[in-house]
Amino acid sequence: MQANENIESITGNPHSAINKLAFPTIFSLLLMFLNNLIDSFWVAGINSNALAALGFIAPLYLVIIGIGSGIGAGANSLISRYVGAQRIDDANNAVMHSIIITLVVSVMVLMIGIFFLDDLVILLGAGGVRTYCLSYGHIIFLMNIVILAPNVVASIFRAEGDAARATNPMMLTAVLNIILDPIMIYGLDLGIFGAGLATVVASFLGFLCMLYWILIKKDTFFEFKFSNYRRKLKIYKEILAVSIPASTEEIIFALVAIILNYLIIVTAGVEEVAAFTIAWRFITIAFIPCMAIGFATITVSGIAYGAKNWKNFNETIKYSTLLGLAITIAICAVFFIFAYPLCGLFNFQAGNSALVIRSSEILQLLVFYNCLISLGATAAYTYQGVGSGFKSLGLTILRELILSMAFAYLMGITLNMGVFGVYLGAIIGMNLGSIIGFAFIWIFNLKFKKSCSK
């Protein structure tokens, strides 16, 4: 059976397992990132208020995606450890626990959308474009299950080594959304509501593929059956111990951008923020490979940890770090060399050559922000893989918020180095935090080695 071959492929050589899981995910995430840009492009054609509304709602949409990814990380971690320990019945039970958590969270998000979305829009400062925000946001919140569930199910597929089924529906969703956006926004004259509807319909159609494999074809390794469910509070606790910190990390990434925007405004003004925003998009792209490799690391490290296989665990850490480092440096080199033409593609102000020049200068500096991110990312995702989600969160807070933002403030404001100091401080803090994070996981690795040799 193909699923058994998948299990064998991720319990054997860590190099092959990470390659199998990571590279399809990289392509999927890049396509989803492109999809977000296409959304902005089509909505911009409505009017500037609609585009502004999309900007205000986007963080809430990303939080929903982050929650789904967080639940998926918790499920992936626990299921992988059960697979490593050859406790398949417990793994099937954990699958159903994760589905129940997803349903409960979906109802909570639905209630927030019904009763509090208007208040959230006002709180975000979007009162001037409130109608647009609600038109787009209501459909997203009401149908949040088709956004949450695919992320969770994809993580379960990764836990059984089925990279294709984990990524193909996500890619289908991105492609369908790109196609449906102009049809629903302009063809059906639904405006910004059409953009939200296109997102929901595309997500639903992608999720249907997963439901077909699970409910009709029934050829997945894990069984999605409520007859496998035996309520265990320990399983809920284990999943949430990774899910909650992993979801919180998504909020931290958004908070970092907000803080950087504030420091840039203080030191250089609003025009600098526009140039920084263009450069920051590429910095986000450069992190995608580390994120995809990290998803694979959760699975492979979790299996090795559950099996008490230090050799595979050690190889997972080393290979994930080196692979992420190589790909990230290659991407950053391309961004450094081709900074000007790349930033020109995102110059939405026709003829504003000064914006392109400044954004390319910022990009050439900020590529160093990601240079050592694979060290920190490997540490965080490995901690998630072994079930220590709050240690992963702690390292992310240390790296992203405490060190990176503290150095940015110190050099930009306290030492009066201006906006260059903000960028340089963020770079120093980020790289230092990544090194510290890797030191922590390496110490954990050595302790695990000792425990396995007893």
Is residue 240 one of the residues assigned to a domain?
Answer: no
- Same domain, residue pair 264 and 212: no
Closest C-alpha among 22, 57, 215 to residue 132? 57
Report how far residue 412's alpha carbon sits from residue 432's, in angstroms, rounded to the nearest whole number. Answer: 17
Q: Are 295 and 381 in contact (CB under 8 A)?
A: yes
Q: Are 410 and 364 in contact (CB under 8 A)?
A: no
| 199 φψ region: left (φ > 0), alpha (ψ -120 to 50), beta (else) | alpha
Query: What is the CA angle 40-44-48, rounded to 5?
Result: 125
- Same domain, residue pair 282 and 343: yes
**Rounded (10°) CA dihedral 74, 75, 77, 83:** 160
- Same domain, residue pair 198 and 270: no
The beta strand positions in 119-242, using DSSP E, are none
- Same domain, residue pair 28 and 142: yes
Is residue 340 one of the residues assigned to a domain?
Answer: yes
Report how far residue 416's alpha carbon sits from residue 412's, in angstroms, rounded to the nearest whole number. Answer: 5
- Same domain, residue pair 213 and 316: no
Report how far residue 413's alpha carbon sits from residue 422's, in angstroms, rounded to the nearest whole number. Answer: 8
Is residue 307 one of the residues assigned to a domain?
Answer: yes
- Can you give the length of the chain in residues? 454
Domain boundary among 171, 197, 231: 231
Residues 6+ apart with CB under 8 A from 261: 273, 276
- Same domain, residue pair 220 and 196: yes
Closest C-alpha among 168, 221, 211, 224 to residue 25? 168
Q: Show pLDDT as tens, one digit a residue, over the chain (454 residues).
A: 444 566 776 777 889 889 888 888 787 777 777 776 677 678 767 876 787 777 677 778 878 888 888 898 888 888 988 888 888 898 899 999 999 999 999 999 999 988 888 888 887 676 777 888 899 889 999 999 998 999 899 989 988 888 888 888 988 988 898 899 999 999 999 988 999 999 999 999 999 999 999 999 988 888 888 888 898 999 999 999 888 888 887 778 777 877 887 898 889 887 787 778 778 878 888 888 888 898 889 989 999 999 899 999 999 999 999 999 999 999 999 999 999 888 887 554 445 678 788 889 999 999 999 889 999 999 999 999 998 889 999 999 999 889 999 999 999 999 999 999 999 999 999 999 999 999 999 999 999 999 987 6
305-329 b/e with 16+ CB inside 10 Å = b?
A: bbbebbebbbbbbebbbebbbebbb
Report how far residue 194's alpha carbon sits from residue 100's, in angstroms, rounded to the nearest whole number. Answer: 30
- Same domain, residue pair 265 and 170: no
CA distances from 94 to 103, 195, 234, 381 (A): 14, 35, 10, 20
- The number of domains in the chain is 2
Q: In terms of residue numbers, what domain contains 423?
A: 245-454
Structure tokens given for 184: 């629903």
Is residue 236 one of the residues assigned to a domain?
Answer: no
pTM score, whole prediction = 0.83
Structure tokens given for 326: 């190589």
Helix 48-84, helix 88-115: angle, nearest 10: 160
Report how far residue 133's alpha carbon sits from residue 191's, in angstroms, rounded to the nearest whole number. Answer: 12
Is residue 109 one of the residues assigned to a domain?
Answer: yes
- Same domain, residue pair 260 and 153: no
- Same domain, residue pair 46 and 183: yes
- Same domain, residue pair 52 and 112: yes
Structure tokens given for 369: 């922000």
- Same domain, residue pair 201 and 314: no
